[in-house]
Amino acid sequence: MNFSQVSYFILSAYIDIGLFRYLVFVFLMCFYVFIIGCNVVLIVVICVNRSLHEPMYLFLCSLFVNELYGSTGLFPFLLIQILSDVHTVPAPLCFLQIFCLYMFGNVEFYNLAVMSYDRYIAICYPLQYHSLMSFTTVVRLIVISWFLPFVNIVVMISLNISSQLCGNVIDRLYCTNHNIVNLACGSTTASNVYGLVYTFTMIFSLVVMIFYTYIRILKVCFSGSKQTRQKAISTCTPHLASLLNFSFGCFFEVMQSRFDMSQVPNILRIILSIYFVTCQPLLAPLLQKKSIKQLRHV
């Protein structure tokens, strides 16, 4: 059965849990409200407190905005689907969700990379910090962190949105670009090549840069005084923990998209599929809350 244009997609990963779904709904709703509350409070604290209008706090604010954006791209949709008996999603909404979730993932990596660069300058070149991290530079870095992912996702979706599809069943809780590509009848070479090139040239480069900056920071820490070492570690540990948490979540997502996970229990696959966009928005503000208190003293 060929579809030149699919009007809706069927999400087949949802399982019938009877009345238990109402308990799951309440749990996820509380989870979502808590995420929104934590991130909004920290954004407001940074915005209203003039003493926090420093580069690292502004980067943190950008990070928290992205956590709000990412969680909102999934949770309302997930809550509706849990209460629904028919798990379908209109094609336009499916592509909008792909845009939101992939934008969230890309911006997250860029934000974490910018934050690691800021800490690298502050700890390795403290005397040049204010000249290198001027307000103009900070604004440019934040704009780049959002603009480049936007361009990437628009190009990625444009390569697939007009593809002829041979089905409309997606074996996931939400729409993903990889699933849409798998439904395509024709050649997907352009989409696959673009995805691989972008991943290895941009995302992989960002991760390498982040770990390089932390290695340099650690070298300075262990060659400095005990007080300097403690302050540097206390501010960098939350950032590194956020990176590792998000990287593991993305790794689980890639593994589930690219490899056969039928041997893994269904409930575990469901948890792993939403880990990167549920736990990261929750843990990031909790991890960064402590660093906010420490940054003034570094």
Q: Mean pLDDT per 10-residue run, the chain (298 residues)?
A: 65 81 90 90 87 86 91 90 88 90 90 89 85 90 93 88 81 85 80 80 82 83 69 72 80 72 72 81 74 52
DSSP for the chain?
Answer: --BSS-SEEEETT----TTHHHHHHHHHHHHHHHHHHHHHHHHHHHHH-GGG-SHHHHHHHHHHHHHHHHHHTTHHHHHHHHH-SS-EEEHHHHHHHHHHHHHHHHHHHHHHHHHHHHHHHHHHSGGGHHHHT-HHHHHHHHHHHHHHHHHHHHHHHHHHTT--BS--EE-SSS--HHHHHHHBSS--HHHHHHHHHHIIIIIHHHHHHHHHHHHHHHHHHHHS-HHHHHHHHHHHHHHHHHHHHHHHHHHHHHHHHHS--TTS-HHHHHHHHHHHHHHHHHHHHHHHHHHHHHHTT-
Instruction: Give the CATH superfamily of 8-295.
Output: Rhodopsin 7-helix transmembrane proteins (1.20.1070.10)
Nearest to 77, CA basis, from 282, 274, 291: 274
Cβ atoms of 243 and 208 within 8 Å: the answer is no
pLDDT at 99: 92
Task: State how far the Cα of 145 lies from the Cα of 110, in Å rounded to an integer.
Answer: 5
Domain residue spans of the chain: 8-295
